[in-house]
Amino acid sequence: MSGGIIDGVAKRVLMVLHDLRVGGAERVVLRLAGAFAERGADVELITLGGGGPLERELAPGVRHTALAARRVRTAAPSLARHLRRTRPDVVIATLPHVNVIAAAAHRLAGSRARLLLREANDPTFEHPRRGPGAWLARLAYARADVVVALTHGNAAAIRRVLRVRAERVEVIPNPAPSPASLGALDARGAPRGYPDDAPPGRPRLLCVARLTPQKDHATLLEAFELVRDTFDDAVLALVGDGPQRAAIEARIVARGLADRVHLAGTVVDTGPWWSWADLLLLTSRWEGFPNVLLEALQHGVPMVATDCPTGPREVLDGTRVGELVRVGDAGAVAAAALRLLADPPDPAALRRRAADFALDGIAERWWRLLERPS
């Protein structure tokens, strides 16, 4: 493995995020930042807003600076001043609006740093297709030395929607959590606050996702009702929060599921939920790279996911280690769930697939981008 010292000087890496709220993109950036620091890089993580619960997961050797901009959309001048002062060798930004701001700051600062923009979702759904917003996004991504896509489907969308030349798009999937970070699952006990007073053996279904239209909880709840036609004592836990919480709660009550569906809200440590769950359900309409599937694989938890653009099919390697179903098809979700509950796959096979996304290998691919000359 190549070292972190280049031409006798530690590579200065600046990574840019919105904040450190609980989210998949944020966790991936923290893992990569720690891996770069371990390789000898001088790593600073800058957040345009404030901090958040994930500050406690910052690795040793990674500095955190919060710009605390009053309006994140106008943070470019502050970030430009920071770039002029710190003069990093590489800037890595993540999430669409952050990427646009980072590119603008890079231009304002006259920075000579390599600019790497990481596209964490499908731009077909996340970027405007016309008007000033579309023009700004294309201008920003044209400034990048490399745009990192998480899947091959994601790469095709970046080329099509953002008009980035193929030679400047690199596909690097997200890393799985390191085994050491998972902890001793058996020792964690039941999830905090879960009212689990039913007899053992009832099916326990889990969804870890923000409560947004993208995740299509309406289809999830309909599928859960169909599962209960076979397993009346089945329970479902929704881990995550978001703008649709009130609407989802109302739907749960209207369907008479209040005693069977538990809304856990935002959870920093999801480990106990993986110990609790028999099955993961993910009913997204679109994705970038669903980290929750990696977590399920690493914990050996079977899963049903929609075959949406982009990510689930590539993560699950076709259908060898999980069930893929049509988007919006509650009946197909329920049928796949019942198959897996009746005949779950070998957890060792799931963990072997997770090993394909080991942090060391993914970080090394990123490191080669950092070492590549402009």
* Homologous superfamily assigned to 5-175+358-371: Glycogen Phosphorylase B; (3.40.50.2000)
Q: Which pLDDT score is estimated for 200? A: 64
In the chain the first and final C-alpha atoms are separated, in Å, by: 21
Alpha carbons 372 and 360: distance in angstroms, whole number: 18
Q: Any residues with CB less than 8 A from the CB of 358 and at least 6 apart, and which?
A: 175, 176, 178
Domain 5-175+358-371 and domain 179-355, same fold? Reply is yes
Give the amino acid at 123.
P
Burial 250-277 (b: 16+ CB within 10 A, else e): ebbeeeebeebbbbbeebeebbbbbbbb
Phi-psi region of 163 (alpha: psi -120 to 50; beta: other; left: phi over 0): left
Q: Any residues with CB less than 8 A from the CB of 73 and at least 6 apart, and which?
A: 97, 101
3-state class of 173 per DSSP? coil
Domain residue spans of the chain? 5-175+358-371, 179-355
**Average pLDDT by stretches of 10, the chain with 374 residues:** 48 95 91 94 93 91 90 86 96 94 96 94 77 81 95 93 94 84 50 61 92 97 97 95 96 94 91 93 94 94 95 87 95 97 94 94 92 71
DSSP 116: E
Assigned CATH class of 179-355? alpha beta
Token pair for residue 287? 């994705």
Q: Which pLDDT score is estimated for 126? A: 72
Q: Which pLDDT score is estimated for 132? A: 74
Residue 224 φ/ψ, nearest 5 degrees = -60, -40
**DSSP structure string for 26-40:** HHHHHHHHHHHHHTT
Q: Which of 344, 185, 210, 364 is nearest to 278 (CA)?
A: 344
Q: Which of 90, 35, 42, 40 is nearest to 59 (CA)?
A: 35
Q: Any residues with CB less than 8 A from the CB of 60 and at least 6 apart, and which?
A: 34, 37
Q: Which pLDDT score is estimated for 86? A: 95
Q: Which pLDDT score is estimated for 188? A: 45
